[in-house]
Chain A
Amino acid sequence: EAQVTQNPRYLITVTGKKLTVTCSQNMNHEYMSWYRQDPGLGLRQIYYSMNVEVTDKGDVPEGYKVSRKEKRNFPLILESPSPNQTSLYFCASFHSGSSYEQYFGPGTRLTVT
């Protein structure tokens, strides 16, 4: 089954404790992206990657890191989480040069206390 998976689905952590949210897709998509969803703000793009070893900033990259060492994986790293990073995070992917149809993961709800 074609899908985007994220882990963990729920995470409660404390300020300053480094964490990684994993994202993996099995569709051989070149493009992968991370978004955060906050009430009243919709989705905002954090980082995206056009292919392996190619990443770029979205609208709200501060406080986040990403890497794209393999085509299928695109982890999101919070080196020192803060309470304002409490949010619902989505990973998405699509095949470059196609119809721009993004496939979204199920989401990761992160709470930073």
Chain B
Amino acid sequence: AQSVTQLDSQVPVFEEAPVELRCNYSSSVSVYLFWYVQYPNQGLQLLLKYLSGSTLVESINGFEAEFNKSQTSFHLRKPSVHISDTAEYFCALNNFNKFYFGSGTKLNVKP
């Protein structure tokens, strides 16, 4: 069975501080992994993805995630957050055309 676990439902952080949003997955086969961001009252937008190749993937706005097969993790990190990063973040996996999402982590960036 496939599943995605996001350990933190909320992460408060001050502006310009680093942040890590944790994601662990469970799957018996190879998967594709994704991070999506949802701003208030909007749909989801793809932030970054791991399909194959380099285990470190980056987004255009400074986020990065590292695929760790041995720890079955795909944690999202940013070295310095901005107020505009306040949103809910979802980790997801794709396996045989089905998608499984985590329960989400609300990132609250404080001034």
Contacts and interface: CB of A to CB of B under 8 A. Distances in A.
Do A and B associate with each other? yes
Contacts of B102: 42
A17 B32 CA distance: 39
Contact of B97 (A35, A42, A50, A59): A50
Given A100-B49, A101-B49, A41 B98 contact: no
Given A35-B99, A100-B94, 16 more contacts: A35-B101, A40-B103, A42-B90, A42-B102, A42-B104, A43-B44, A43-B101, A45-B98, A45-B100, A90-B43, A100-B49, A102-B46, A102-B99, A104-B44, A105-B43, A107-B42
Contacts of A41: 103
Interface of B: 4, 6, 9, 32, 34, 42-46, 49, 51, 90, 92, 94, 97-104
A74 interface: no
Question: In terms of DSSP, what is the predominant structure of the interface of chain A?
Answer: strand
Contacts of A45: 98-101
A44 interface: yes
18 contacts: A4-B43, A33-B99, A35-B99, A42-B6, A42-B101, A43-B90, A43-B99, A44-B101, A45-B101, A48-B99, A58-B98, A59-B98, A99-B49, A102-B46, A104-B43, A104-B44, A106-B43, A107-B43
A24 B6 CA distance: 31
Contact of B51 (A44, A100, A102): A100
Question: In terms of DSSP, what is the predominant structure of the interface of chain B?
Answer: strand
Contacts of B51: 99-100
